[in-house]
Structure 1
Amino acid sequence: MMSEPTLFPAGGAEPDRTRTGGLDVVADPDFSTATRIHLDATSWVDYVQGWLAGDDVLMRLLMEQAVWEQRSRWMYTRTVEEPRLTAEYPVIADAPQPVLMYLADTLSAHYRRPYTQLWMNWYRDNNDGTGWHADRPANKLDEAIIPVLSLGVTRRFLIRPVPGGASRALVVHGGDLVVMGGRCQRDYQHMVPKQKQPAGPRLSLNFSGPNPVP
């Protein structure tokens, strides 16, 4: 069993509460629990357990305040509703909570690239999920670093090579961060599967930067 992560390791500091909108929501600036999983020579995943403290507070506010929509997509011969809700903010400063800017800045400082955009998915229960996919337009780039922050209940996160085959599974809890880097979006696909066991709601917060020309 993995030990509980410790926030505020040596050198870490609690953020100015004006940056978090006065919320008790704190990210570990040192990424002290990060484990890097090398998928191959050019693709990797950082799994950061307990990166965010106070995820339940943030989740409740985002469920209430974000602009959620039910999207549809064409599959084979018909249009179907996506089994999740989505809220997208091309300018993260327009998102409903100031703490999201603080999280984006913390990620930007660590990975040394700007995170200025946010899209969020709301998995309402165990019947919601996603199929195998890569994030667009990052899958058109030679390399990309895409952080995904989980809020809420524990769900499985799977990743496998684009041609198919065996997948790796991460059991992701509320407050955990999964970061896909290198050629991960180009050479791999990921999914959050539906499950038979009942489950409560989960939000995934996906951070990205300006969309460069591939």
Structure 2
Amino acid sequence: MHFRRTLDHMSHQQSLFSPTVTEPIDHERTGGLDVAVDTTFGTAERVDLDETSWITHVPGWLTGDDELMRLLMTNAPWEQRSRWMYNRRVQEPRLTAEYPVVAQAPHPVLHHLTGELSRQFGVPYSRLWMNWYRDQDDGTSWHADRPVDRLDTAVIPVLSLGATRRFLIKPNGGGRSTVIVTRGGDLVVMGGRCQKDYKHSVPKQRTPAGPRLSLNFSPETAPQIA
């Protein structure tokens, strides 16, 4: 899958993952969907933000993202949420759905994805938070994910489905951003002290964009808001 990534003043390090291997689709585990993941993480590229924080971008980690996207757009419990901003309550510029216990989600494919990520990163992911960016006017501002930002270190995978959008991350103290362009099926993993020392965003844009879903996997004690 073609992709483009821009890095600003950051070191770049190739991952040591094995080359991509095409495997048969296990329809029992995917609930009948033509969805597959690269269990070798063969396209992974790591960006060291500093000595203790890193990002791994895995282009095309998931194939069949359009099928998964249609399933979730149709069946997940989406809602329009709001929050206080200064002295008034405003609607968030995206839709949100969550499975606080992903093992109880009614879609076997979500159990499958969670299991693969847990095995790869050695983290018992058990919660799933999803955002639906309907078009270019939806986005999320600079933030760290709570309450995982209170942990010294964390490994948080974010799976993109649908339209191409930019994922930005920058130090808490300011500075230029690292920009990763994500396409449908791409995985971005924030590791080390990313949540403690950095903030990230999916900005709104002027260029027209179709819908995008982000699937954010976290341990039980660390629900996502990004």
Task: Say whether the 8 Å CA contact 2:25–2:34 is kept in structure 1.
Answer: no
Q: Does 2:111 match 1:101?
A: yes
CA distance in 2, matches of 1:59, 1:9: 23
Aligned to 2:158: 148
Counterpart amino acid of 2:90? V
Question: 5+ unaligned residues in a row in structure 1: which ranges?
Answer: none
Q: Does 2:179 match 1:191?
A: no
CA distance in 1, matches of 2:25, 2:2: 27
Give the secondary-structure state (helix, strand or coil) at the position aligned to 2:68: helix
Q: Does 2:55 match 1:45?
A: yes
Aligned to 1:205: 215
Deviation at 1:15, TM superposition (A): 4.7
Task: Say whether the 8 Å CA contact 2:78–2:96 is kept in structure 1.
Answer: yes
Aligned to 2:179: 169
CA distance in 2, matches of 1:175, 1:208: 18
| RMSD value, Cα | 1.8
CA distance in 1, matches of 2:129, 2:198: 20
Deviation at 1:211, TM superposition (A): 0.9
Aligned to 2:120: 110
Count of residue correspondences: 208
1:23 aligned to which of 26, 29, 33:
33
**When the two structures are superposed, what TM-score results if normalisation uses the length of structure 2?**
0.88
CA distance in 1, matches of 2:2, 2:213: 23
Deviation at 1:96, TM superposition (A): 3.5
CA distance in 1, matches of 2:24, 2:178: 34
1:63 aligned to which of 73, 77, 80:
73
Q: For residues 51-104 of structure 1, give each alpha carbon's deviation from its aligned partner in whole angstroms, at most 9, with x where no partner exists.
A: 000000000110000000111111112111000000011100232321011001
Q: Does 2:64 match 1:54?
A: yes
Aligned to 1:158: 168
Q: Does 2:119 match 1:126?
A: no
Aligned to 1:72: 82
Task: Say whether the 8 Å CA contact 1:159–1:191 is kept in structure 2.
Answer: yes
Give the secondary-structure state (helix, strand or coil) at the position aligned to 1:18: helix
Deviation at 1:165, TM superposition (A): 1.6
CA distance in 2, matches of 1:14, 1:206: 25
**When the two structures are superposed, what TM-score results if normalisation uses the length of structure 1?**
0.93
Q: For residues 160-205 of structure 1, give each alpha carbon's deviation from its aligned partner in whole angstroms, at most 9, with x where no partner exists.
A: 0011221110110000000000000000000000001111100000
Task: Say whether the 8 Å CA contact 2:132–2:211 is kept in structure 1.
Answer: yes
Give the secondary-structure state (helix, strand or coil) at the position aligned to 1:147: strand
Q: For residues 138-178 of structure 1, give each alpha carbon's deviation from its aligned partner in whole angstroms, at most 9, with x where no partner exists.
A: 10000000000000000000000011221110110000000
Counterpart amino acid of 1:137? P
Counterpart amino acid of 2:48? H
Task: Say whether the 8 Å CA contact 1:84–1:124 is kept in structure 2.
Answer: yes
**Identity across matched positions, percent:** 64
CA distance in 2, matches of 1:154, 1:177: 12
CA distance in 1, matches of 2:2, 2:158: 21
CA distance in 1, matches of 2:2, 2:113: 25
